[in-house]
Amino acid sequence: MKSALVTGGCGFLGSAIVRALIARGKHVRVLALPNEPTDNLRGLDVELLRGDILSREACERAVAGRDTVFHAAAIYKAWAPDPTDMYRVNMSGTFNMLEAARRAGVARVVYTASIVALGRPPLGRLADEDTAYEAWDLDFAYSRAKFHSRELAEDFSRWDLDLRVVCPGVVLGPGDISPTPSGKLIINTLSGSPPVYMDGGASYVDVRDAAEVHVRAAESGRAGRRYVTTAHNLSALELMQSIDDAAGRSRRYFKIPVGVARGLVKAMEAQARRANTEPLLSRNFFEYSTRPCFFSGKRSEQELGAVYRPLRETLRDAIAYFRERGLLRG
């Protein structure tokens, strides 16, 4: 690998992939939307190309002369009353980029999926790359869009495109420029939100470690292979306690019964619809999150040599980043 294209390279994970490539001395081109901020690329020696993955011509220009493509561009919304744009970008945009890469003879592609594009495990067990998707009972548009786009990407691996799929867990760390739901949770936990929690849990990973797995997948991964990149399986309570610990404080938390929480989330969503704003938590994301969803990252460790940093380091760096940007005080 000598030259790479990173789509979504101005974003949280994409910019971390860019940094991991630059650290290896690679020439990096970033495809960014026409008006997309480039704060996460400040000070980095990259080639910036403006364009939209919904444009086939932009995709063709972006892949020209590249031997490796990291396709991380996507729309992520936990609440999407109208998921049309999410499906257009995550499906049609993915097709345009992968088809352009295939036609240009790109040597390899790393596609960024998500653990929500895989199946949730039975209670008490860990899911992995081969756990079958089963969230059809939930109207969780992002999960379905990523599932379908992952399947589309894997179809390209059957059409003579050397493609590997990386499925990150919930990503945490510095660089969360437009705070994701996990970033907002850190901010809210440390900004006076009520010390309450409910059942549920998820798999978390440092954004820098997830980026490293992407690069290693390009360097030594197997074509057509999926790699889950996740390091810490935590209940909701464990995560909030870990955030407090990283900030050097301690609080007592109180559990909210799921039925009560469901009613509160329903009310928040109704108010958000009236105000035309995004709720703090949507019902669909709530229903997905109440079931512990834990994953194993062993394949990335065994086949790619992935190493994951301690959670405390990740959270302390994320907190420092949010303070630097004025999103946290103290």
- Is 190 a member of any domain? no
- 62 near 48, Cβ under 8 Å? no
More confident residue, 267 or 136: 267
Q: pLDDT (tens digit, 9 = 90+) per residue, 76-130?
A: 876 677 788 889 999 999 999 999 999 999 999 999 999 999 988 888 899 999 9
Query: Of all residues in the chain, what percent carry a pLDDT higher than 90?
Result: 72
295 DSSP assignment:
B
Q: Specify the DSSP element, H or E, that contains 172.
A: strand 170-172
How many structural domains comprise the chain?
Answer: 1
Q: Distance between CA 183 and CA 268 in Å, rounded?
A: 19
Which tokens hold the place of 161? 């495109």
When pLDDT is cut at 50, 70 and 90, the band that residue 138 belongs to is low
Q: Domain of residue 61: give its range.
A: 3-175+205-231+294-309
**Mean pLDDT score, 13-31:** 98
Report CA torsion sign: 56, 46, 230, 179: negative
pTM of the model: 0.94
Amino acid present at 42: R
**How far does Cα 103 stand from its chain's mean position?**
27
Q: pLDDT (tens digit, 9 = 90+) per residue, 191-214?
A: 988 898 888 899 999 999 999 999
- Is 245 a member of any domain? no
- Is 53 a member of any domain? yes
- Is 328 a member of any domain? no
Residues in the chain: 330
Q: Specify the DSSP element, H or E, that contains 2.
A: none
- Is 96 a member of any domain? yes
Compute the C-alpha angle 31/37/40, nearest 5°: 80
Q: Distance between CA 96 and CA 98 in Å, rounded?
A: 6
More confident residue, 136 or 314: 314
More confident residue, 73 or 279: 73
- Is 270 a member of any domain? no
- 92 near 54, Cβ under 8 Å? yes
Question: CATH number of the domain that 149 lies in?
Answer: 3.40.50.720
Q: pLDDT (tens digit, 9 = 90+) per residue, 278-321?
A: 777 777 777 777 778 899 999 999 999 999 999 999 999 999 99
pLDDT higher than 90, residue 51: yes
Q: Distance between CA 305 and CA 315 in Å, rounded?
A: 23
Q: Residue 137 has what pLDDT?
A: 63
Q: Distance between CA 171 and CA 314 in Å, rounded?
A: 10
